[in-house]
Amino acid sequence: MSRHHSWRPLVAAALLFASSGAWAASVLPTTYPGNFTSCNDLPGVGTWQGLGYSTGSAPINGQSYNLGVPGQTIAFNYTPPDQMQYIGFNATMPMDYVVVKGGNAYNVFHYVPGVAGDTNLYSPDNGSGQPAGVSHVTFCFVPRPTGMKTADANWKRYTDWSIDKSATPQQVTMFDGDSHQVDYTVTATALTRQIYRIAGTITVKDPFGFGWKASAVVDTLQFDNAPNQFVLQWTAQNGDSDTLDCAKPPPNADKIVLSCTYAFELSSLSHPFLTGAGGGTNAAGITAVRQSGCGCSDDGGSGAQSYTFAATAPFSISANPNESYGDTFAIDDSMLPDSVDHRFALGSGPYVWTYPRPNPLTCNADQGNSTNTATGTWSTGANTNATAGDSATVQLACRTVSVSKTAQTRYDRDYAWAPNKHVVVSPADAKVVGMQGCLPDPIATGDYAGNYLCDDVEVLLNAGGSYETVYRLAATRTTEAESNFAVSGDIQVSWPADVTPVFSPSAPSDTLSFNGGGTQSIAPTCDPQAATSLHCSYSAALSGKLGGTNQAAIQRVLQCFDAQGNASACGFKSYSSNQAAVVFGDPAVETDRCVALTDLFNGTAGLNLGAGFGWTVQPLLCGSFAQFVTGDIDPDPGIVRSLDVAAAWLPPANTGPGLSCEFMVPNALTLNSDNGASKSDEAVLSVRVPELCASGGCTYTQGYWKTHSKFGPAPYDATWARIGENTLFFGSGQTWYNVFWTPPKGGNAYYILAHQYMAARLNVEAGAATPSQVASAIAQASAWFTGRSSAAPKGPARDTAIALAGILGAYNEGATGPGHCSTSPATLAKAAQ
Indicate whether 802 pLDDT > 50: yes
Tens digit of each residue's pLDDT (9 = 90 or more) over 681-729: 999 888 888 888 876 788 989 988 999 899 988 878 889 999 999 999 9
Could you tell me if 485 and 668 are in contact, meaning their C-beta atoms sit under 8 angstroms apart? no
Q: Last residue of some domain: 399, 429, 445?
A: 399
Quick check: is 364 in a domain?
A: yes
Q: Are residues 686 and 711 in the same domain?
A: no
pTM above 0.85, yes or no: no
Quick check: is 822 in a domain?
A: no
Identity (one letter) of the amino acid at 818?
Answer: P
Indicate whether 18 pLDDT > 90: no
Tens digit of each residue's pLDDT (9 = 90 or more) over 580-611: 999 999 999 999 999 999 999 988 777 777 88
3-state secondary structure of 274: helix
Q: Are residues 367 and 454 in the same domain?
A: no
Q: Are residues 679 and 755 in the same domain?
A: no
The whole domain housing 720 covers: 702-817
Spatial distance between the Cα atoms of 616 and 322, rounded to a whole number of angstroms: 126
Tens digit of each residue's pLDDT (9 = 90 or more) over 480-495: 899 999 999 999 999 9
Q: Are residues 255 and 310 in the same domain?
A: yes
> Residue 605's pLDDT is what?
74
> Residue 215's pLDDT is what?
94
> Residue 296's pLDDT is what?
38
Contacts of 620 (CB under 8 A, 6+ apart): 594, 596
Could you tell me if 334 and 373 are in contact, meaning their C-beta atoms sit under 8 angstroms apart? yes
> Residue 432's pLDDT is what?
66
Indicate whether 8 pLDDT > 70: no
Q: Are residues 154 and 298 in the same domain?
A: yes
Tens digit of each residue's pLDDT (9 = 90 or more) over 662-685: 888 999 999 998 778 899 999 988
pLDDT band at 396 (very low <50, low <70, confident <90, very high): very high
> Residue 19's pLDDT is what?
37
Could you tell me if 140 and 42 are in contact, meaning their C-beta atoms sit under 8 angstroms apart? yes
Q: Are residues 16 and 136 in the same domain?
A: yes
* Residue 282 burial (C-beta neighbours within 10 Å; 0-12, 13-18, 19+): buried
Tens digit of each residue's pLDDT (9 = 90 or more) over 144-178: 999 999 999 999 999 999 999 999 999 999 999 99
Domains held by the chain: number = 6
3-state secondary structure of 627: strand
Q: Last residue of some domain: 399, 431, 459?
A: 399
Quick check: is 562 in a domain?
A: no
Peptide bond into 314 cis (omega under 30): no
Closest C-alpha among 663, 648, 764 to residue 715: 648
DSSP label at residue 709: S
Spatial distance between the Cα atoms of 149 and 225, rounded to a whole number of angstroms: 22
Identity (one letter) of the amino acid at 445?
Answer: T
CA distances from 347 to 189, 192, 328, 351 (A): 11, 10, 10, 9
> Residue 717's pLDDT is what?
87
Could you tell me if 54 and 41 are in contact, meaning their C-beta atoms sit under 8 angstroms apart? no
Question: What proportion of the chain, given as a percentage, has pLDDT over 70?
Answer: 95
Arithmetic mean of pLDDT over the chain: 90
Quick check: is 576 in a domain?
A: yes
Phi-psi region of 571 (alpha: psi -120 to 50; beta: other; left: phi over 0): left
* Residue 97 burial (C-beta neighbours within 10 Å; 0-12, 13-18, 19+): buried
CA distances from 537 to 491, 513, 534, 543 (A): 6, 18, 10, 20
Quick check: is 798 in a domain?
A: yes
Quick check: is 5 in a domain?
A: no
Q: Are residues 463 and 388 in the same domain?
A: no
Phi-psi region of 339 (alpha: psi -120 to 50; beta: other; left: phi over 0): alpha
Quick check: is 518 in a domain?
A: yes
Q: Are residues 173 and 264 in the same domain?
A: no
**CATH number, domain with residue 510:** 2.60.40.10
Tens digit of each residue's pLDDT (9 = 90 or more) over 82-132: 899 999 999 999 999 999 999 999 999 999 989 999 999 999 998 888 999
> Residue 829's pLDDT is what?
76
pLDDT band at 642 (very low <50, low <70, confident <90, very high): confident
Q: Are residues 423 and 339 in the same domain?
A: no
3-state secondary structure of 757: helix
**CATH number, domain with residue 376:** 2.60.40
Q: Are residues 656 and 738 in the same domain?
A: no
Tens digit of each residue's pLDDT (9 = 90 or more) over 294-345: 443 344 445 688 999 999 999 999 999 999 999 999 999 998 988 899 999 9
Q: Are residues 461 and 494 in the same domain?
A: no
Quick check: is 386 in a domain?
A: yes
Closest C-alpha among 300, 148, 140 to residue 213: 300
Q: Are residues 64 and 114 in the same domain?
A: yes
Tens digit of each residue's pLDDT (9 = 90 or more) over 523-553: 999 999 999 999 999 999 999 988 999 999 9
Average pLDDT over residues 387-396: 96
**CATH number, domain with residue 422:** 2.70.50
Beta bridge pairs of residue 670? 598, 680
3-state secondary structure of 690: helix
